[in-house]
Chain A
Amino acid sequence: MDTAELLALYEQMALIRRTEKAAHDLFLQGLVKGTTHLAAGHEAIAVGASAALLPDDYVFATYRGHHHAMARGATPEECLAELMSRATGLCKAKGGSMHLTKAATNMLGSYAIVGAHLPMAVGAAWSARLRGTGQLAVAFFGDGATNIGSFHEALNLAAVWKLPVLFVCENNLYMEYTRIADVTAVPRPAADRAPAYGIPGEVVDGNDVVAVQEAVARLARRARAGDGPAVLEAETYRHFGHSRADPATYRPAEEVERWLKHDPLDIAHGRLIEAGVPEETVTAADERAQTVVRQAIEAAKSAPPPDPREAFTDVWADGGAAWRT
């Protein structure tokens, strides 16, 4: 990867990190209701994977999906406006934090039922094959999702139909509040199970954007060549608790410290400096990200709430919601 590309990925990660920080602050100010599942710490997975995909590949994510939406083209303003229940939100304020979706760029949604979207990604890959488009589908999911039935059904179907789909597990060691290791029969919850379905299962440092980009690029090439699906288990850590309600006191202090030192932004920063990029250039990227997010916050704050009549649109394809004639 050349330094210009790495710098661009760094800036994208910085943009996501600052947007997550904004979501956190706006929640504390009472401007974001419900809950949020922040992805601070997971940025390198979304950004690295997206860098290895083509613009019309399909992406499916979980309720922890701000980073995937942004890595696939959603702007901080659209995302924050959605979180703040504004008419200009990414989903017209009908989705919220857990459902960020940008269909125009084939980011086909964030799903709040654990594991539900894995078969959907299989279906999108099946459809790509039927239409002969060469598109790939990627499902991002948590380690907790590997113990749900749809994970296993999806892997098997993708394997027997040899579909171009990648299953990317963001293993952050925890489900909500329970360590995945305490409730799972194998140490690598995703990668260890893949061979049972005849699928390669790889492990990667999920905090190293270059390593993620390279792994996804390789598995994507393979899938596009007709060699079928793959599982990539990306090791990472969430900086915040599971959701807004969670102070994450169950995590040992030294574990938190170790992982905060292994920050995806720091790792990319280190790589840039090592490659001879001046510190000021990296700082400038940071500042650009900061400016974009600051403007996004202001724009979202000043956007109007949705028209109440919007509650009765978009159930059906005709735009309406009528259930009787």
Chain B
Amino acid sequence: MADVITYREAVAEGIAREMRRDPSVVCLGEDIGEAGGVFKTTAGLFKEFGRERVWDTPISEQAIVGAAMGAAMTGMRPVAEIMFSDFLACCWDYLANEIPKVRYMTGGQVTVPLVVRTANGGGLGFGAQHSQATENWALTVPGLKIAAPSTPADVIGMMAAAIRSDDPVVFFEHKGLLASKGVPPPPDHVVELGHAAVVREGADVTLVALASMVPVALKAAERLAEEDIGVEVVDLRSLVPLDMATVLASLGRTSRLVTVEENPYQGGWGATLVSVVADEGFALLDAPVRRVAAECVPLPFADVLEEQVIPTVDKVVAAVRSLAAY
């Protein structure tokens, strides 16, 4: 294997590793076969595994996710692709009403081990219907696990955990990270869901970020280091399970908290996270908490407008600076 791998390649590699070890893993989605996916995140799978394991579907989001559910209930481990995360709304019934509830309402009789993968987030100028960060949609639903990796190694490790999970997982692949590169992980690399990573240590402020916001947080931390502000960056990696233990431990060291979210401030995951901190970690805080999140408007098209709406390094730097001086 090459010494670097892109995030995009890591998606296909992560799926391929699981398909090699488990014949019950099958893929379905629009254009995922010979075409390799519109983001090329399934490139090579059709060639290696053939049409009995990599299935092109019609443009039928309900049928894709509904059929994945039926297959998961009956012995398969399907990996369904919903091209853009915005389109999750077209099959929202399955994510909100069917997949996450069937185990509970049947009293534990039925398990749904599936993965719904989707390209999430903004930054590429795709406009309001192809740019949303929708992880917070899924967060409102009890019964879904939510993965959102930020590095190629995590993509592979978390894909393994997601596909092996006996629970349904919504797997958010960030469009803005697809071209980013990293070291490929060793064989059988698994990153269990619910384990955040401290990706940079620092003594003054804890920055909690997810997916595309992790590199933004790291850049902000670098800038702030020049001002002698030590920023600890926590990559949450998954929203359910949510690793509050790592966040609270970090606050024990820094006593100041900023969350960086790409989803809108209203109803964003940071609100849940800071509410747990207020509830259980209030005594750890020496300053108010700050949330840097997207504005509550549809994502505009032009770069200069999009920058107004989603978090940028400048906005994060400003938020951290204001707390460090508090």
Interface residues in chain B, defined as those with a beta carbon under 8 Å from any beta carbon in chain A: 26, 52, 55, 57-58, 60, 62-63, 65-76, 78, 93-94, 97-98, 102-111, 113, 142-143, 165-167, 194-195, 240-245, 276
Contact = CB atoms under 8 A, between A and B. Distances in A.
B97 to A, nearest CB: 5
Rank and list the top 3 A-B pairs by shortest CB-CB distance, nearest first: A123-B70, A119-B66, A92-B107
B68 A317 contact: no
A116 B70 CA distance: 11
Interface in A80-116: 89-96, 99, 101-104, 108-109, 111, 113, 116
A91 B68 CA distance: 23
A27 B143 CA distance: 31
A54 B65 CA distance: 27
A101 B109 contact: yes
A261 interface: no
B66 A123 contact: yes
23 contacts: A58-B70, A58-B74, A91-B105, A94-B106, A95-B107, A99-B106, A101-B109, A119-B69, A122-B66, A123-B70, A123-B71, A123-B74, A130-B26, A153-B60, A153-B62, A154-B63, A154-B67, A157-B60, A157-B63, A317-B111, A317-B113, A318-B166, A319-B108
B243 A122 contact: no
A96 B58 CA distance: 35
B298 to A, nearest CB: 24
A116 B110 contact: no
Interface residues of A, number: 55
A322 B63 contact: no
Given A116-B94, A323-B142, A325-B195, A108 B67 contact: no
A325 B242 contact: yes
Interface in A113-150: 113, 116-128, 130-131, 137, 149-150
B67 A119 contact: yes
Contact of A103 (B106, B165, B245): B106
Contact of A95 (B57, B62, B105, B245): B105
Contacts of A122: 63, 66-67, 70
Contacts of A315: 103-104, 142-143
A156 B60 contact: yes
Contacts of A99: 105-106
A323 B241 contact: yes
A109 B105 CA distance: 9
Counting chain A CB atoms within 10 Å of each CB, the highest count among B67, B68, B69, B73 belongs to B67
B108 to A, nearest CB: 4
Counting chain A CB atoms within 10 Å of each CB, the highest count among B52, B58, B62 belongs to B62
Counting chain A CB atoms within 10 Å of each CB, the highest count among B26, B106, B142 belongs to B106
Contact of B69 (A120, A128, A161, A323): A120
Contacts of B167: 316-317
A38 to B, nearest CB: 20
B67 A313 contact: no
Contacts of A284: none
A313 B60 CA distance: 33
A260 interface: no
Contacts of A154: 62-63, 66-67
A134 to B, nearest CB: 13
B110 A103 contact: yes
A316 B240 CA distance: 11
Counting chain A CB atoms within 10 Å of each CB, the highest count among B60, B70, B165 belongs to B70
A118 B65 CA distance: 11
A314 interface: yes
B63 A314 contact: no
Interface in A267-325: 313-319, 321-325
A76 B303 CA distance: 63
A160 interface: yes
Contact of B110 (A89, A101, A157): A101
Given A154-B62, A154-B67, A314-B108, 9 more contacts: A58-B70, A92-B107, A109-B110, A111-B98, A122-B66, A123-B66, A314-B107, A322-B241, A325-B242
Counting chain A CB atoms within 10 Å of each CB, the highest count among B75, B93, B143, B167 belongs to B93
Given A108-B73, A119-B70, A130-B76, A91 B106 contact: yes
Given A323-B142, A323-B241, A157 B57 contact: yes
B109 A103 contact: yes
A131 B69 contact: no
B67 A116 contact: no
Contacts of B102: 101, 109
